[in-house]
Amino acid sequence: MSETPATLGAAGADRTGGVPDAVGTPSSLPATPLLSRIHRPADLRGLTSDEIEALAAEIRRYLVATVARTGGHLGPNLGVVELTLALHRTFRSPRDTIVFDTGHQAYVHKLLTGRQDFSRLRERGGVSGYPSRQESIHDVVENSHASTALSWADGIARANHLQGRDRHIVAVIGDGALTGGMAWEALNNIADSADKHLVIVVNDNGRSYAPTIGGLAHHLDALRTNPGYERMLSSVKHTLLSQGAPGRAAFDALHGLKRGLKDILVPSAFFEDLGIKYTGPVDGHDETAVEFALARARDYTEPVIVHVITEKGRGYTPAEEDAADRFHAVGRIHPETGLPVVPSRFGWTAVVAEELLALARADKRVVGITAAMQQPVGLQPLADALPDRVIDVGIAEQHALTSAAGMAFAGLHPVVALYATFLNRAFDQVLMDVGLHRAGVTVLLDRAGVTGTDGASHNGMWDMALLAHVPGLHLAAPRDEATLRQAVRDAVDVDDAPTVVRYPKGSLPAPLPAVRTVGEDDGPFGAVDVLLDTAGERPVLLVGVGAMAENALDAGRSLTAEGVAVRVVCPRWPVPVPDALVELARAASGTVVVEDGLVEGGVGSQLRDAVEDASLADGVAEVPRVARLGVPRRFLPTATREQLLADFGMDRAGICAAVRRLVNPDTAPDGRG
């Protein structure tokens, strides 16, 4: 668990606290003479105020230059530079525990805890994009799902108290994450215990991905922007600073009086009625002010909320001018302009956005629901065209699904659009509120399957194995643009059962047309497309599920060239397993299923069980073999999607090897026999 920094390249340092539009060339990185001296958080405490300001500028410049090369969460980290410096100057990590909610704002924390080589950020063998216990003893929570930090902090604080440890716990949570119900469950319990050294930092930038919504957001906005408070503070500041050194000394003392001024002008009862002390709002880009507020909170013997106002994308003009999400997450960009190095191709999400807007215009019952991710999941075009037909519930997936069940009961057809990994948070609601009540709710799962570089908790690999347990639910796994559009239309046509459409991250493949289709007599849910059919009485059946159809087809063509009889198919709706697919597997010499979801309990497992059940029912003694290629049941390391698929034998070479082993069990893994 290293705390040793890497040596960085050369360029000048700007002491203004901002970042110039040009932040280095592809062959160089900006110089970081101050940052290079920081081997561990303790090294920060000997710096002067001027040095801290210069260090903040170095960090911003370095973040822009490095993230521009690799992609990553740029905007959130530019917004927490001073806050993170103040945290590590006030508290003693790792003795004191700092928990970052979501974790996408932890790049600055990584830099200050000895991880200063971002050349392979979010790549295999490099620094991960979220906190990682494998990287550092300063990292605690690796899960990048929002609204959990307060529960972690509550648990750690209670354990410390019971074991007699005199240590502080700091939970850094954004205003967006506070829209999640779990955060309020934790606050309810935190307020019930007054003996904890617990500090809650609300990093309030008015956004999660996009601007934060809901009643809490409106209240925080009132605290943030109260004109009386701002006028009073501005007037006092101007008066004192105009009086030279004595006035500056008095203004420094004013940081301790801010609470009193705020109490007069902006009541803090919203938080204090919970039984938790509140201080703020504090300017999150005034390191001295933040440090002062944190020190006061640290010295208090009960839970304290420190409300810090920050600006996402701070100091980098392209991010500050990006109204959509302030460069929340970017691919590789030109640092001078913020423009992408490689323009994004038309992707799966864009197709869904078009199709959903067309469906909503044709059917007034169709409404979209998002959990604080309106733009990333493709609901923005619908919200722009029909704003009253999109509901953003905040980071509250459980509420989204149960609310959708209520809308379906009342005559609407809700379409809930989520990243696949976040559906895990609402499985009970899918099962008991949507499934049990046979609610006509469609769930669109963006970024399904292996996503890779976002780390273990962002892979959308759990859905097919989980959702197969919901009676009556149908899940589509389209393979290209045409099947994606058709799947969305078919899903929204269903009003008496839940439907799910899953699709991966990124750009679309070339069209993968079917040579014929079987099972259409059973309706869209029974259709299985045949993509390749070579001669042979009992060919090997190669099943490519959804996005894996392209790799399966490539492997099928290679095997055909080797003289192996292969039939490549893609079920449009693989959950539950279509009857036509079962019969194709029973007629084959063997079957290989390739899916970018859990291999245990996934489509391959379900097909294997169905083939066995059908064979036993018919009295057939010899059950055809079904081999499965998929994601193993473990948390995946950071790597590209392509690297992980190759690791699991799900690329062309791996699929060919699996078919050879099926045809000839004595074949070696490399296929040479």
- Binding-site residues for Mg(2+) sit at 175, 205
Is 425 catalytic? The answer is yes
Going by their DSSP bridges, the two strands 528-533 and 566-571 should be labelled as: antiparallel
- Is-contact 96 122, C-beta < 8 A? no
Is 40 catalytic? The answer is no
The one-letter amino acid at 150: L
| CA separation for the pair 533, 530 (Å, rounded) | 7
- Is-contact 161 114, C-beta < 8 A? no
Both structure tokens of 361? 């215009």
Burial of 476 (0-12, 13-18, 19+ CB in 10 A): buried
The one-letter amino acid at 473: L
Question: Which residues participate in the annotated binding site?
Answer: 104, 144-146, 175-177, 205, 316, 397
| CA separation for the pair 401, 409 (Å, rounded) | 13
Both structure tokens of 233? 């503070």
- 348 Cβ partners below 8 Å, 6+ apart? 446, 484, 503, 504, 505, 506, 507, 508
CB atoms within 10 A of CB 76: 29
Q: What is the DSSP string of 339-364?
A: -BSSPPPPBHHHHHHHHHHHHHHH-T
State the catalytic residue, choosing from 312, 389, 479, 652: 312
Both structure tokens of 489? 């239309």
The one-letter amino acid at 61: R
| CA separation for the pair 673, 666 (Å, rounded) | 7
Both structure tokens of 220? 């925080």
Is 312 catalytic? The answer is yes
Cross-strand bridge partners of residue 569: 530, 543
**What's phi and psi for 567, nearest 5 deg?**
-120, 120
| CA separation for the pair 517, 527 (Å, rounded) | 7
CB atoms within 10 A of CB 206: 20
| CA separation for the pair 217, 209 (Å, rounded) | 14
Give the burial string for 29-60 (b: 16+ CB within 10 Å, else e): bbbbebbeebebbebbeebeeeebbbbbbbbb
State the catalytic residue, choosing from 262, 425, 447, 505: 425
Q: What is the DSSP code (8-state) at residue 623? A: P
Question: Which residues participate in the annotated binding site for thiamine diphosphate?
Answer: 104, 144-146, 176-177, 205, 316, 397
CA atoms within 13 A on the CB side of 597: 33
Both structure tokens of 584? 């194709």
In terms of phi and psi (left: phi > 0; alpha: psi -120 to 50; beta: otherwise), the region of 229 is alpha
- 167 Cβ partners below 8 Å, 6+ apart? 95, 96, 97, 160, 197
State the catalytic residue, choosing from 82, 355, 397, 595: 397
Cross-strand bridge partners of residue 99: 171
| CA separation for the pair 607, 465 (Å, rounded) | 12
Pick the closest to residue 351 from 506, 216, 462, 460 (CA basis): 506
**What's phi and psi for 96, nearest 5 deg?**
-85, 140
Q: How many helices (H) and strands (E) does the chain have?
A: 25, 17
- Is-contact 664 673, C-beta < 8 A? yes
| CA separation for the pair 105, 268 (Å, rounded) | 27
Both structure tokens of 211? 């601007």
Active-site amino acid positions: 312, 397, 425
